[in-house]
Copies of this chain bind each other. A is one copy, B any other.
Amino acid sequence: MDPKDGTLLGIDLGGTNVRAGVITQDGQLLHWQDKPIEAARGPEIGMKTIMQLADEVATHTHLPIAALGVGSTGPLDRQHGSIQNPYTLPGWEEVDIVTPLRKRFGVPVALENDADAAALGEAWAGSGRGVKRMYMVTIGTGVGTSLILDGQIYRGLGDEHPEGGHILVDPSGPECYCGAHGCWESLISGPAIARYARESEMTTQSTYLNTYSLEDIDASTIFTGAREGDSICRQLVDRTADYIALGLASLMMSILPDRFVFTGGVMRSFDLLEERIRASLTRFNVIIPANRVELQLAKLGQQAGLFGAARAAQLLLMDTLS
């Protein structure tokens, strides 16, 4: 077989589930399955689950596989192909995931962290398709970013992953574990939105929020309140939109991407945030025309990591063949 004709096997490894799928080289997902990873039972059992799942999806499609890619919850050691993640995968330290897969399938195996894989997937087969410079922003429990240039992951110093979620946005903002005050994540992540609401005096004046005890208020409570017309919730949402815009403005100035692509739990309420983000951004458009930089939601959802893992496999394959 010409390796360019083979399919790509993508594996998306999270703290809870592992998913595997077979994807064609032009980005069609043919088949996928997932299983609980049962991380707490340790890496040996986990690796067995992964190998078995990969076998199952490969057997199901019965097509030759040209390369395999893994997108995994990090930290990783990409150079050694191993997972170093005792945080969300307890006991998984220096677990070589690449060698066993390479031996089993006899093809090149790529390893990327899950955030980069998701961005790679969106750039390849989702909202970044055909876009020269895509900047993906994941706003959820934390804020993660990934820059895809010409379909490849941009890497910084030491080939490491930049942390655009921790750009500084407001020095008078709350302290973050990153060491800074008022970094982007400390202002717009789900927990940051909720914390601000719980500590704000405004909250006591909200008829909607008053039906909750303080400790039960999370970001989704506030978005729901805004949808139901509560004006305090609406103000909290607007405040979030303004801070999202401040960070985007800085990223626009420093990177000037063609398109921002959003994902993550907070961005499920993009419809509530979008207008205000755009209005905020146009205030900064004197030297760079803010309205030319596109804002879009990611479209692959839960499958972004799978597509990205397959795309990482394809890029490695192209590298190997060139």
Q: Enumerate A269-322 residues with CB–CB distance to B below 8 Å.
A: 283-288, 292-293
Task: Return A93 CB to nearest CB of chain B, in Å.
Answer: 19
Q: A167 near B: Cβ within 8 Å?
A: yes
Give this chain's copy count: 2
Contact A162 B284 (CB under 8 A): no
Closest residue of B by beta carbon distance from A283:
B179
**Segment of A46-54, A66-74, A170-178, A221-229 engaged in the interface with chain B:** A170-178
Chain A residues with a Cβ closer than 8 Å to the other chain, count: 43
Asked if A157 is at the interface (CB within 8 A of a chain B CB), the reply is: yes
Q: Say whether, besides A168-B249, A170-B170, A172-B172, A157 and B284 are in contact (CB < 8 Å).
A: no
Of B157, B249, B285, B292, the contact of A158 (CB 8 Å cutoff): B292
- 1/0 contact string of A234-254 vs chain B (CB within 8 Å): 000000000000100111111
Q: How far is the CA of A155 from the CA of B256 in the complex (A)?
A: 8
Q: Establish whether residues A167 and B292, one from each chain, have CB atoms under 8 Å apart when the complex forms.
A: no
- Interface pairs A-B: 8 shortest CB-CB: A156-B256, A162-B256, A167-B250, A179-B286, A164-B254, A179-B284, A166-B253, A167-B253
